């Protein structure tokens, strides 16, 4: 049985005056007096600790955390694959990581070349013409994409204020489009778990700016009518946006550009295996067809003979989406990952899809899998419904997910996509072996049995993690968001 460390640690506990865990440099100038109005009355409340205090504290905390390197992490739509260590090592390269983003180009030729080469590889993989690596994350790529769509229509003198988003879309899609000023029109899925093209047709009008689509969608189902969808959207003057969160399923085999998408975003931290960092940093990237080149932010990377340069002179319609060039440390890892795989990227998609379908096949006799009758195959992930279990036993999908933690597996994504009741969204990724998948299947079946035999056992789970079930309602009712707020009511 899995057992996680379970201490109670407080940075402040070992604090005593004069301790230092790191000694900063000395000053050697003669600074002026500070203006009276700005002088600080009291020093910030920072504990004083030795280096070993700090190291032990964070090692203790790390033992109360769970990553891909600890075990199976089938968090749907997040592509929690193994992060090869060579990529980590290369990202520590001192020369790459210690340059200021505005240092002269001759001093950062290597960094620019990495960016240029990765952009080219991503363009090839996606079937697009140009790529920018500037977005800090997938959602920022979506925001940039939505802005590009807006600027494109504006340049053509068209007032299109609606963005169509399927009901299975990631929450970031409507949120990003709304930030770009769009009204969101939600298109429902049909009985086959794919976009209902008749409903889509009804949504489309001369106000339609575009459609944001994830393919395969968040049910793990390939939108097979994509050709027709593309014609519908383009026929009405709209653009087609590809949410690349699920690109892992298609890597090296199916290209968004060939399916008619005008704009594509990539999540480098998903598809290209850079670590997720406990929530970030990740990196987005945007690929476009040639007619949208003028909307890519500055600077663009261009090849010039044998080398690559930043072009600051293209005066794009959207100048910048974040400061500087992008999350370079992530870009570097993704580049190393891609060149090491080479044409082996086809194995990524095959094995991620094989693993998902293997899991699905082993679980489907025990769990309800919506849309299975009409669409038997999944891509890299699939969604099961715990609705029947909830009705029979009162155990919810979240309870179920928490109980899985006791078996040393991270939980799947819960309650998403929204169209499936009591959803568990499972994405195994290509880096898991059959034996790991089998142990997950065993755990799933065991937990289901427990739901019927002893539902309270499941409802009160987990037991083996660093904390028992956590009171999230209290956290909202009595918000304590910092040490400063702890003392208050």
Partner 1 sequence: MDFFPTKSQKRSMYDVVGVEDLFSDVPGRFICEKDLLGPPMSEIETRRHVEGILSKNVDVTSYKGGGAYDHYVPAHVQQIAARNEFYTSYTPYQPEISQGMLQALYEYQSLMSSIIEMPIVNASMYDWSTALGEAALMCNRANGGTEFIIPEFTSPERKAVLRSYSENVGITILEATHNPETGQIDVDGLSDIMTRQCGGVYIENPSYLGFFEESVDEISRLAHDNGSLFVVGVDPLSCGIVKGPGSYGADIVIGEASHLGNPINFGGPLLGLMAVNDDRKLVRTMPGRLIGLTEDLDGRPSYVMTLQTREQHIRREKATSNICTNESLCALSCAAYISSLGKRGFVDLAKALFSNASYAYDKIGALEGYKAPVHDSVHFREFAVRHPKSLDRVEHLLNEHAITGGIPVDGRTSIYCITDKHTKAGIDALVDVLGGL
What b/e string do you get for 98-128 counting C-beta neighbours within 10 Å, with b at 16 or more? Answer: eeeeeeeeeebeebbbbbbbbbebbbebbbb
Segment 460 to 489, residues that bind partner 1, using CB under 8 A = 460, 462, 465-472, 474-476, 478-486
Of 321 and 383, CB closest to partner 1: 321
The burial of 178, by beta-carbon neighbours within 10 Å (0-12 exposed, 13-18 middle, 19 or more buried), is given as middle
Segment 135 to 174, residues that bind partner 1, using CB under 8 A = 136-140, 142-143, 147, 150, 170-172, 174
**By CB under 8 A, is residue 129 in contact with partner 1?**
no
Of 202 and 224, CB closest to partner 1: 224
Q: CA-CA distance, 157 to 11, in Å (whole number)?
A: 58
Which residues make Cβ contacts (< 8 Å) with residue 22, sequence separation at least 6? 51
What b/e string do you get for 361-379 counting C-beta neighbours within 10 Å, with b at 16 or more? Answer: ebbeeebebbbeeebeebb
Q: CA-CA distance, 224 to 207, in Å (whole number)?
A: 26
Query: Kindly report the CA angle at 327 between 323 and 330, in degrees rounded to 5?
Result: 180
Write the binding mask 41 to 80 for partner 1: x where contact by CB under 8 A, - elsewhere: x-xxxxxxx-x--xx-xxxxxxxxxxxxxx--x-x--x-x
**By CB under 8 A, is residue 181 in contact with partner 1?**
yes
Shortest Å, Cβ 120 to partner 1: 10
- State how far Cα 251 lies from the chain centre: 16
Q: CA-CA distance, 65 to 63, in Å (whole number)?
A: 5
Of 344 and 392, CB closest to partner 1: 344
Of 303 and 431, CB closest to partner 1: 431
Segment 292 to 351, residues that bind partner 1, using CB under 8 A = 297, 307, 318-332, 335-336, 338-348, 350-351
Among 153, 160, 265, 276, which residue interacts with partner 1 (rule: CB under 8 A)?
276
**By CB under 8 A, is residue 282 in contact with partner 1?**
yes
Segment 380 to 419, residues that bind partner 1, using CB under 8 A = 401-402, 405, 410-411, 413-414, 416
Q: CA-CA distance, 284 to 245, in Å (whole number)?
A: 10
Segment 348 to 387, residues that bind partner 1, using CB under 8 A = 348, 350-351, 353-355, 357-358, 361-362, 375, 377, 379
Of 20 and 453, CB closest to partner 1: 20
Among 164, 166, 224, 286, which residue interacts with partner 1 (rule: CB under 8 A)?
224
């Amino acid at each position: 049985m899995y057992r996680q460390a379970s201490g109670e640690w407080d940075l402040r506990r070992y604090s005593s005056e004069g301790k230092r865990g790191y000694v900063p440099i000395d000053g050697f100038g003669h600074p002026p007096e500070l203006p009276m109005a700005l002088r600080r009355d009291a020093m910030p409340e920072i504990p004083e600790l030795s280096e070993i205090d700090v190291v032990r504290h964070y090692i203790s905390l790390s033992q109360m955390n769970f990553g891909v390197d600890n075990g199976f992490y089938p968090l749907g739509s997040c592509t929690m694959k193994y992060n090869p260590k060579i990529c980590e090592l290369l990202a520590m390269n001192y020369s790459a990581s210690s340059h200021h983003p505005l240092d002269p180009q001759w001093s950062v030729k290597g960094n620019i070349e990495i960016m240029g080469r990765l952009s080219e590889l991503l363009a090839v993989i996606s079937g697009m013409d140009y790529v920018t690596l500037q977005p800090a994350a997938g959602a920022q790529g979506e925001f940039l994409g939505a802005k590009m769509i807006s600027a494109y229509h504006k340049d053509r003198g068209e007032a299109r204020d609606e963005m169509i988003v399927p009901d299975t879309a990631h929450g970031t899609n409507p949120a990003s489009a709304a930030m770009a000023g769009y009204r969101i029109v939600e298109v429902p899925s049909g009985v086959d778990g794919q976009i209902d093209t008749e409903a889509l047709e009804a949504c489309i009008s001369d106000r339609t700016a575009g459609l944001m689509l994830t393919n395969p969608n968040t049910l793990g189902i390939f939108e097979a009518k994509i050709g027709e969808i593309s014609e519908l959207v383009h026929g009405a003057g709209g653009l087609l946006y590809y949410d690349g969160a699920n690109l892992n399923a298609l890597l090296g085999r199916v290209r968004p550009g060939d399916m008619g998408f005008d704009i594509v975003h990539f999540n480098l931290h998903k598809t290209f295996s850079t670590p997720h960092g406990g929530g970030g940093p990740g990196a987005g990237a945007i690929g476009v067809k040639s007619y949208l080149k003028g909307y890519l932010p500055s600077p663009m990377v261009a090849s010039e003979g044998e080398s690559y340069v930043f072009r600051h002179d293209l005066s794009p319609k959207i100048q910048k989406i974040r400061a500087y060039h992008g999350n370079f440390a992530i870009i570097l890892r993704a580049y190393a990952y891609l060149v090491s795989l080479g044409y082996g990227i086809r194995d990524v998609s095959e094995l991620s899809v094989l693993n998902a379908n293997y899991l699905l096949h082993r679980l489907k006799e025990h769990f309800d899998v919506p849309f299975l009758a009409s669409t038997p195959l999944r891509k890299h992930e699939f969604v099961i419904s715990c609705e029947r279990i909830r009705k029979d036993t009162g155990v919810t999908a979240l309870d179920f997910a928490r109980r899985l933690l006791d078996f040393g597996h991270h939980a799947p994504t819960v309650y998403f996509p929204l169209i499936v009741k009591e959803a568990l969204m499972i994405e195994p990724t290509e880096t898991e072996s059959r034996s790991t998948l089998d142990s997950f299947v065993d755990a799933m079946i065991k937990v289901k049995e427990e739901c019927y035999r002893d539902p309270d056992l499941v409802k009160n789970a987990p037991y083996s993690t660093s904390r028992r079930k956590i009171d999230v309602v209290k956290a909202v009712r009595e918000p304590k968001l910092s040490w400063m707020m702890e003392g208050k009511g």
